[in-house]
Chains A and B, each alone.
Chain A
Amino acid sequence: MTTTSAEPAAARPALGRRAAISAKHLRTDRWWVEPVYTVVGLSAWLIWGLVHTLLIRDYYFIEGPGYHYLTPFFSPCVNVECPPDSALLGRWAPSWVLPYAILSLPLLLLFRLTCYYYRRAYYRSYWLSPPACAVPDGHAKYTGETRFPLIMQNLHRYAFYAAVLVSIINTIDAVRSFWGTEGFGFGLGNILLVGNVVLLWAYTISCHSCRHIVGGRLKHFSRHPVRYRAWTFISRLNTRHKELAWITLGTLALVDIYILAIAAGWFSDPRFFN
């Protein structure tokens, strides 16, 4: 009679091996489409943004009785080289400091870089970690966001606060553009600027951090009815965070290119009033 101890079933270490399936993955659908589109889309946008912010031309449009549009890529314009009436927060940065919107662009970039949606997008498409579900990631070792530098992703909340401030500046820009030296008036550019700002706000407040701060952190919604209502609203927006992330990239580029086009004189801004 042998008397060896029986090992506990559930606590048994994974003695067995995984199924020996030779194929790396067996997906038959076009799983690579999404990462490819993401890389193309994000890269194109980044390159355009870099080119325009470094080219430093045709970012400010002014015509007639003081009608003016400032592209969001240059707002707030703080460089000494900025046109005086485009500067909202003064002109103090020396001319070699690039980009001209040195206050806002790094923060906006940080906001989008640490955004929970963009993280998913670029981890999947650029870092292939993983490129698609059930497709192996291309790395020998993986520690996720537990170490420097990726642990810094946890700072998303501060980037969100900054993004709110920048959105306020963008809003002021959009409102100011309605007022020329001879009072109120607007053209197609105004409509684009306003549309862009509204969508920027939608993207900004649909942020997961915002959802958490507004109400998600509460344990008892029933004791905070107002915050619960706000949370419910943001939760609904939040389900569209991905779409808003892409739409706002599109509107930013659109507004920027539009202002560049009219500032360069390719065509003129249709005026609807005054």
Chain B
Amino acid sequence: MARHTFRVWRGDANGGQLSDYEVEVNEGEVVLDVLHRLQATQTPDLAVRWNCKAGKCGSCSMEINGKPKLACMTRMSTFADGETVTVTPLRTFPVIRDLVTDVSFNFQKLREMPAFAPPPGLKPGEYRMQQVDVERSQEFRKCIECFLCQNVCHVIRDHEENKPAFSGPRLFIRAAELDMHPLDARTDRKEFAKEEQGLGYCNITKCCTEVCPEHIKITDNAIIPMKERVVDNRYDPLVWLGRKIFRRDQMPGYLGGPTQERLPVSEIVADRAGANSPYGDDITFPLPTESLTYEHTKED
């Protein structure tokens, strides 16, 4: 058992201040436990947003001793005995009350991000993807949307005026996830990242990676690869020359252009007559019925 002073920001959009509370801390507790103890014993109306308390939902994002963190994953044992712990709301977003902020900026940006485009011609159950091809995107799908990366990013943290033009790291990993998705049918993800999401604003100072509670390598595995992909079709002189010479709709990276990588477009150069089978070339029809395991239910 140890005693700590908790300095908690109390207030709302009209102003507020840091208030001090003396609390008992038991072995093995995290910051969120202490905030709950404050609620139960000293100040029942202390506003804290939380949910799973296991680092899986990303609700209890706040700043602890100035660092963006999940309160449920910050162990009290990381502080020196008797150390004052300062807890403040996320700075980048408008405050609602106490430690709760209005994170709707992020949901707005998420809504502007074009969704996964299912490949035409493939029905549910016919998707075939190799594990090595989905692994990169799977890393980004670990994201719990705690928005700590969005909060720490100085592009909007220190420059409110950049908010309309800049989507933030959470959205860059979404862009990378979809651009690397083996079956996503859209080809304009790179254009979108550059033009609409403001990928160029990022100066790769890596704070997003530093604060990510899921340890997603946001900068190395998403932002830089996306920057490189933009370079592929924006700043590569060979591509630029190609644009001048060939028709635009045949270039990779153009919306509506060819979607499959390295597949001969024309039947003349393809190694078989007709188009490539969407089911994969190793399947012949009809399939043996005894291996089918699914039955359609009758409409009720």
Contact = CB atoms under 8 A, between A and B. Distances in A.
Interface of A: 9-12, 14-21, 25-29, 116, 119-120, 123-124, 129-130, 133-134, 136-137, 139, 141-146, 150-151, 154-157, 208-209, 211-212, 216-223, 228, 238-239
A155 B202 CA distance: 16
A154 B234 CA distance: 9
Contacts of A11: 104, 108
Contact of B206 (A18, A120, A209, A238): A120
Interface residues of B, number: 66
Given A130-B154, A144-B202, A14 B66 contact: no
Given A17-B94, A21-B91, A145 B15 contact: no
Given A116-B224, A144-B200, A157 B107 contact: no
B211 to A, nearest CB: 7
5 contacts: A19-B88, A145-B203, A212-B224, A212-B228, A238-B220
A21 B12 CA distance: 11
Contact of B203 (A16, A144, A156, A208): A144
B123 interface: no
B205 A130 contact: yes
B15 to A, nearest CB: 5
B104 A130 contact: no
A151 B199 CA distance: 11
B180 interface: yes
Interface string B53-89: 0000000000101111000000000000000001011
A145 B67 contact: no
Contact of B95 (A17, A130, A143, A218): A17
Nearest to B99: A19
Contacts of B207: 130, 133-134
Given A27-B67, A129-B203, A142-B155, 6 more contacts: A16-B102, A20-B15, A130-B207, A133-B67, A133-B152, A221-B132
Contact of A123 (B18, B205, B227): B205
A129 B16 contact: no
Contact of A146 (B108, B198, B228): B198
A221 B131 CA distance: 9
A130 B224 contact: no
Contacts of B230: 154
A136 B154 contact: yes
Of A19, A133, A134, most buried by chain B (CB within 10 Å of CB) is A19
A195 to B, nearest CB: 26
Contacts of B200: 144-146, 151
A119 to B, nearest CB: 6
Contacts of B211: 133
B158 A12 contact: no
A145 B65 contact: no
In the A-B complex, the 6 residue pairs with the smallest Cβ-Cβ separation, listed nearest first, are A16-B94, A26-B66, A27-B66, A144-B201, A222-B130, A133-B207
A27 B180 CA distance: 37
A123 B9 CA distance: 31
Interface in B93-144: 93-96, 101-102, 104-105, 107-108, 111, 130, 132-133
Given A16-B95, A120-B204, A134-B207, A129 B154 contact: yes
Given A18-B95, A19-B101, A137 B154 contact: yes
Contact of A154 (B65, B107, B202, B227): B227
A216 B202 contact: no
Most buried by B among A29, A139, A141, A221: A221
